[in-house]
Amino acid sequence: MKARGLREIFWFSLSGLCVVIVVGMLGLVIGFIIAKGAGAINWEFLSEMPRNAMTEGGIWPAILGTLLLSLGAIAFALPLGLVAAIYLVEYSRDGKLRRWIRIGVNSLSGVPSVVFGLFGLALFVNFLGFGACILAGSLTLGLMVLPTIIRATEEALKSIPMSFREASLALGATRWHTTVRVVLPAAVSQILTGVILAVGRAAGETAPIMFTAAVFFTKRLPSGLFSKVMALPYHIYALLTEGTHPAEQTAMAYGTALVLLMLVLLVNGAAIFFRIRARKRKKW
């Protein structure tokens, strides 16, 4: 009896310790970035162009670049992924084709991001001749998040009960009508959650935009789809590897990291908001 009690205490403590370590690490990362980066943050840092070999001034072009690249990625991947998922869930019958499509989609999500970067370089930048620009970077990021969006949408559509579809079809609606007017509205919150998480991931990626869109430094803000841009993750990389003034630039890099971290947390916060809303509304 006593040994059993001790064993219980041992495993309880061990599992508790693991949780403390995990949460501690997370806290440490965030705390570390805040401690090192908070000093750099002020209005000038957020709103101005970099100056003096990126040792002074701000990171506004990089913030704007990351926002544009992420929005571009979603603008490309959302419609494509949504319609693909609708095909897979609402139209295709179970069979070999669907199984192969699904295997393909899953494999796509396992491809390392730098491979997407290389692919984007070959296809969008060189073959299609876009050059390194917002368009090429957005398309590359979009390709990378496409599987995530398809999977999230598929899960959302599958969670909608068949009885809604039957009710609609029994009234003489087409499948398309049923999907657009009944299934999608019921699934939209859950789809948004997945999409927003995908944006969060896209925003923080460096490798896919390295060859396709990002530059160390631009004098001007982007003027169109074919402009090169600065981007937050790449800016951090640039500050730490290419600098001539390591001390000042490292401080800037932590400031940039903090901004990126906050941006991603904000985006994930939005995802959580939609998830809660979806759960609250769900009464079926």
- Nearest approach in angstroms of CB 270 to other proteins is 22
Q: Which is nearer to other proteins, 3 or 162 (CB)?
A: 162
- Nearest approach in angstroms of CB 118 to other proteins is 41
Residue 131: left (phi > 0), alpha (psi -120 to 50), or beta? Answer: left
**In terms of Cα–Cα distance, which of 184, 179, 222, 171 is closest to 61?**
222
CA distance 238 to 230: 10
Query: Using an 8 Å Cβ cutoff, are 156 and 194 in contact?
Result: yes
Q: Which is nearer to other proteins, 28 or 171 (CB)?
A: 171
Q: Which is nearer to other proteins, 127 or 284 (CB)?
A: 284
Query: Using an 8 Å Cβ cutoff, are 177 and 108 in contact?
Result: no
Footprint on this chain of other proteins (rule: CB under 8 A): 93-94, 161, 163-164, 166-174, 177, 181-182, 185-186, 281, 283-284
- Reduced to 3 states (helix: H, G, I; strand: E, B; else coil), residue 22 is helix
Q: Which is nearer to other proteins, 102 or 245 (CB)?
A: 102
- Nearest approach in angstroms of CB 273 to other proteins is 19
CA distance 220 to 271: 33
Query: Using an 8 Å Cβ cutoff, are 203 and 262 in contact?
Result: no
Q: Which is nearer to other proteins, 47 or 92 (CB)?
A: 92
Joined tokens for residue 29: 């990362």
- Nearest approach in angstroms of CB 165 to other proteins is 8
- Nearest approach in angstroms of CB 196 to other proteins is 21
**How crowded is the C-beta side of 158, counted as CA atoms within 13 Å?**
9
